[in-house]
């Protein structure tokens, strides 16, 4: 039931981001010159690296889920033996990658603000910060969920099916956030 409920909730989140995409394209359609001026200030190579980090974090998250499904909470060897990592190690790595992504977005915001792209400055700034900002909030929510799952693995006496389900549900959310970012990245950075 938790998985079904999560999928239904993610459907409502999909509608929220669909509305943001619709707003972005609507405002872009009425002011194409503004978009041409503003998008040339984007650091596409930096955003590409940041995107790669987030997309790869989906892989590490899924490897953590596979470990949870095997019932392997922690590593069974040295920290350098990646093939023997458990849920904790994969989720810690995923958390780190997600935090790097959010820090990368904050760095990008700082440089764009210095370039004069702000929310009150233009419709482009408003839509850029609304879409990417709400996504960053969702990534931050995912990071909190990872901490919750990790905390449960340390507090529980034994790893149960319920803990594996919570890891799986968090992975649904994380994969959703990654797919939304791929759409945002393509829309904002590639379709100039």
Note the pLDDT tens digit of each residue in 108-145.
999 999 999 999 988 999 999 999 999 999 999 999 99
**Cα–Cα distance for residue pair 33/173, rounded to 1 Å:** 36
What 3-state DSSP class applies to 85?
coil
pLDDT grade for 191, boundaries at 50, 70 and 90: confident
pLDDT value of residue 5: 80
pLDDT value of residue 12: 85
Single pTM value for the model: 0.90
pLDDT grade for 19, boundaries at 50, 70 and 90: very high
| Residue pLDDT, tens place only, 71-100 | 888 778 777 787 889 899 999 999 999 999
In this structure, the chain runs to a length of: 192
| Residue pLDDT, tens place only, 40-58 | 899 999 999 999 999 999 9
Give the chain's domains with CATH numbers: 2-190 (1.20.120.80)
Q: Is 180 exposed, middle or buried (0-12, 13-18, 19+ CB in 10 A)?
A: buried
pLDDT value of residue 159: 77
pLDDT value of residue 144: 97
Q: Is 170 exposed, middle or buried (0-12, 13-18, 19+ CB in 10 A)?
A: buried
**Cα–Cα distance for residue pair 32/53, rounded to 1 Å:** 31
**Cα–Cα distance for residue pair 26/22, rounded to 1 Å:** 6
Q: Are 139 and 58 in contact (CB under 8 A)?
A: no
Q: Are 173 and 10 in contact (CB under 8 A)?
A: yes
Token duo for residue 6: 């999560």
Which residues, other chains included, contact 91 with Cβ-Cβ below 8 Å and sequence gap of 6+? 61, 64, 146, 149, 150, 167
pLDDT value of residue 13: 87
pLDDT value of residue 74: 79
Residue 163 predicted with pLDDT over 90 = no
Q: Are 128 and 41 in contact (CB under 8 A)?
A: no
**Number of other CB atoms surrounding residue 79 within 10 Å:** 9
pLDDT value of residue 77: 77
pLDDT grade for 36, boundaries at 50, 70 and 90: confident
**Number of other CB atoms surrounding residue 145 within 10 Å:** 19
Mean pLDDT of the chain, nearest integer? 91
């Amino acid at each position: 039931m938790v998985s079904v409920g999560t999928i239904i909730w993610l459907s409502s989140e999909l509608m929220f981001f669909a509305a943001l995409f619709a707003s972005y394209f609507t405002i872009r359609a009425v002011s194409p010159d503004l978009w041409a001026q503003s998008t040339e200030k984007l650091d596409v190579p930096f955003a590409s690296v940041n995107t790669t980090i987030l997309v790869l974090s989906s892989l590490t998250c899924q490897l953590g889920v596979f470990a949870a499904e095997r019932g392997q909470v922690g590593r069974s060897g040295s920290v350098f033996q990646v093939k023997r990592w458990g849920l904790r190690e994969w989720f810690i790595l995923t958390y780190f990658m997600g935090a790097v992504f959010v820090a990368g977005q904050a760095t990008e915001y700082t440089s764009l603000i210095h370039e004069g792209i702000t929310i009150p400055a233009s419709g482009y700034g408003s839509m850029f910060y609304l879409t990417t900002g709400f996504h960053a909030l969702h990534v931050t929510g995912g990071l909190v969920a990872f901490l919750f799952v990790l905390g449960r693995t340390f507090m529980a006496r034994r790893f149960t099916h319920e803990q594996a389900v919570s890891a799986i549900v968090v992975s649904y959310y994380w994969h959703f956030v990654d797919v939304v970012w791929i759409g945002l990245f393509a829309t904002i950075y590639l379709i100039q």
